[in-house]
Amino acid sequence: MNALLSVSDKAGIVDFAKALRSLEYSLLSTGGTLKCLRESGLEVCDVAEYTGSPELFDGRLKTLHPKIHGGILHRRAHLDDVNTAKDHGILAIDIVCVNLYPFKATIERTDDFDEIIENIDIGGPSMVRAAAKNFADVLVITDPSDYGLAIEMLQTQRSNLEFRRAMMIKAFEHTASYDTMIANYMNQRFYEGFGTKQFIVGNKVFDTRYGENPHQKGALYEFGDFYTKQFTTLKGEASFNNLTDLDGAVKIATSFGDAPAVCIVKHGNPCGFAIKENLSESYKAALRSDPVSAYGGVVAINGILDKALAEVINEMFIEVLIAGRITPEALCVFESKKRIKLFECGSNQLIAPKDRVDFKHIQGGFVFQEADRIGESEVQDARQMGQVAVDKSQKRDLEIAYKLAALVKSNCVVYVKECALVAVGMGMTSRVDASKAALAKAKEQNIDIRGAVLASEAFFPFRDSIDEAAKAGVSAIIEPGGSIRDDEVIAAANEHGMALYFTGVRHFYH
């Protein structure tokens, strides 16, 4: 029995090789793996010695040889294949353990294209694909985490078709994701990320209980390792809808650096947000915006959740809570609450992946784009369009309102006062209707809007929204500008004595 070992990631490979030798497998290897195994005292045959063909072109050509691929691909149940292998001195290779050149690590480390090209594996994917194709006879291993299970299966002679099939699927996933990474990198380097094909690959983290509704299946997949390494479940199980709401809440709560921000989300939209002197005051202010909607909502705490804050939050039903860290004492507060779900994400503050790209499924395909970002100085550099200027505290409120507006479903308006969300209108077909809906909700909650600032993610097409804001006592407005009626909007702001700022950048969120 023969096993071919050629790995870039050498974690666990020596122990795996020793276990194979104890099962009387002869070992074949190349390059760095060969050296590593021999230094550990193992008897290993150099692939070049076996094939009679030396490594060529600085190692570009090592394993592309009939004795290697014939040994992997010939079908043991086909007499003609077996006889052909014998005639050509081809030994059966029963195990192929390969993982590929570190292309991802290379592009993260350097922009040197020559070095990047040399870290595109050729022989490795070929061997993996060959072994996967012939999984009926060959066991292919591409993931070091499978070494232990593979040895256990071989020791107990349970290396059955089902196990080899599972490893085959994993092998094709391995080569597919590798090629995808290379293709996407080349498209990014030479076509700004918009080549003739776009590949989206994710690694499965876990199944959700179901999808958006109970009759749908669902699961979480990640692009890198954010959810595997940073997202920790402390209590409960994240559902499909929980995850989408968590994403929105964390995205907003992390938009203000290490500020003690608290965001409350319900059905994909923020219904509460505040930045006060501490997290406790921030939560109380965020909750005041719309406690009815907050019931059963998702709360993101940009900091450490301690016992005192946990006791305040525990006064009403919150379904999902995520913080940078949750103390053991705070966990105890929620111990008797069966329905609450608790997660950590980061350390002292929340962490968000901040993906570079964004996409959305449509029937028959998907639309793909660069991820939207609010520039670091977008609000600070906004142009004063009217006669009235804002003071420092109003400018801070404008920044909060504008960042919130970019993450609220369009058409939207956001009202902020003293660093807290006080009213929001979202997802309306008319911006003036969004303004009216927000103000009506604030009136229901007995929230005084006077002195608040107003933000819109897109321009106001008419002055009617400005007039509505004036009636409510809004002191300042920020919007992108760009309407053919901007002059009317500016005139309305001046008439009402309101400050008006244009950023020049639209932030639709559909």
Give 3's contacts (C-beta < 8 A, 6+ positions apart).
Answer: 17, 20, 25, 26, 27, 28, 93, 94, 95, 96, 97
18 in catalytic set? no
Query: Which residue is listed with tokens 């007039």?
Result: 467
Query: Which residue is listed with tokens 């071919």?
Result: 4
What are 458's two structure tokens?
């897109």
133 in catalytic set? yes
Give the Cα separation of 417 and 400 in Å (integer): 9
β-strands 269-275, 261-266: how paired? antiparallel
Give the Cα separation of 395 and 373 in Å (integer): 19
Residue by residue, DSSP assigns 275-307 as E-SSHHHHHHHHHHH-HHHHTT-EEEEEEEE-H
Q: Which amino acid is at 82?
A: V
* CA dihedral of residues 358, 362, 365, 368 (deg, nearest 10): -20
Active-site option among 10, 104, 133, 170: 133
Q: Collect contacts of 100-107 with beta carbons under 8 A, ≥24 apart.
A: 100/8, 100/124, 100/125, 100/128, 100/174, 100/175, 100/178, 101/8, 102/8, 102/9, 103/178, 103/181, 103/182, 103/185, 104/181, 107/185
Active-site option among 267, 307, 337, 409: 267
Of 144, 137, 194, whose CA–CA distance to 168 is shortest?
137
Q: What residues act catalytically? A: 133, 267
